[in-house]
Amino acid sequence: MIPPPLLARDLRKDYRMNGETVHALRGVSLRVDAGDYVAIAGPSGSGKSTLLQLLGGIDTPTAGVVELLGTRLDALSDRELTHLRLTRVGFIFQRFHLLPVLTARENVELPMAEAGVARGERRERAEQLLAYVGLAHRGAHRATQLSGGEMQRVAIARALANRPTVLLADEPTGELDAATGREILELFRRLNDDGTTLIVVTHDDRLAAEAGRAIHMLDGTIRD
């Protein structure tokens, strides 16, 4: 039996903040199957971004287990976890976080270069991905020369670079105007239609409504 792309069991996460313990997650379990498009919605401080970070292996839970394609993340070394993020997970951030000194194409090539993809192959794939997100003509432009919507589309192309198992997006439309946000939603829809598994954290009701499945969080727990 093929394991699901993502499985979380009883995840808990506590922070120390100003001398007090903050319970960001209080026992969250979640299963995401291949091809799912899941929206995680909820007010600020409900723990949705923390959940996304735990699912993507960029933070470790206080308790509980995350499995990516059947591999327990807590069993991996830092080096293995980094490699897993590089090859199996695609991240999209609210503030895009492109490297401003690189061009759009170089930003897309970056994860492939880190994964050891040959120069010619990664250039070809970067151009394909930029074309996929509608930015074939902007490959040679620096990130700082792009609009917010364009930067987010480059960030999506970067996240897809190493053909990840799952794409994780944290408030991907949070910094964009309504029209540009709609373009990103359409792009996500297209990605999911093409078989990409998506988990999106959002405040945006339209985005939550677009997803095939919406999860609502409050005070570190899933409410429905």
Partner 1 sequence: MRVVAWGLRSLGRQPLRTALSLAGIAVAAAMLLDMVMLSGGIDRSFSDLLLVRGYQLRLTPKGTLPFDTEAAMAGASGIVAALRRDRDVEAAGAVLGTSLYARDADSLVTLFGYGIEPEAQGLYQVTSGRDLSPGDTAGILLGEPAARLLQAGAGDTVTLVGRLDPQVAGAALGSRLVVRGIVRWLYDARDQPSVGTVLPVMQRLSGPTAGDRASLILVKARADDQVPALAERLRARFPAVEVNSAAELVVHFRQRLVYFRQLSYILGSMSLIVTVLLIATLLTIGVNERLGEIATLRAIGVSRGTVVRQVLAEGGVLTVLGAALGILLGLLTARYLDAILTRFPGLPAAFSFFVPRADTLGFAAIVLLVTGFRAGLYPAWLAARAPIAATLRAEAT
Q: Residues in the site for partner 1, rule: CB under 8 A?
A: 49, 53, 56, 58-59, 78-79, 82-87, 89-91, 93-95, 97, 99-102, 106, 109-111, 113-115, 158-159, 162, 170-171
**Angle, CA 11 vertex, CA 192 and CA 111 arms, to 5°:** 45
Cβ-based nearer residue to partner 1, 100 or 212: 100
Cβ-based nearer residue to partner 1, 150 or 213: 150
Tokens 């987010």 correspond to: 152
Beta bridge partners of 13: 25
Cβ-based nearer residue to partner 1, 48 or 138: 48
DSSP strand E in the chain: where?
6-17, 20-32, 37-41, 63-68, 71-72, 89-92, 166-170, 197-202, 213-218, 221-222
CB of 224 to partner 1, least distance (A): 25
CB of 20 to partner 1, least distance (A): 16
Q: Which one, of 67, 62, 1, lies nearest residue 32 by Cα? A: 67
The rounded distance, in Å, linking the Cα atoms of 48 and 160 is: 22
Cβ-based nearer residue to partner 1, 102 or 218: 102
CB of 116 to partner 1, least distance (A): 11
CB of 179 to partner 1, least distance (A): 23
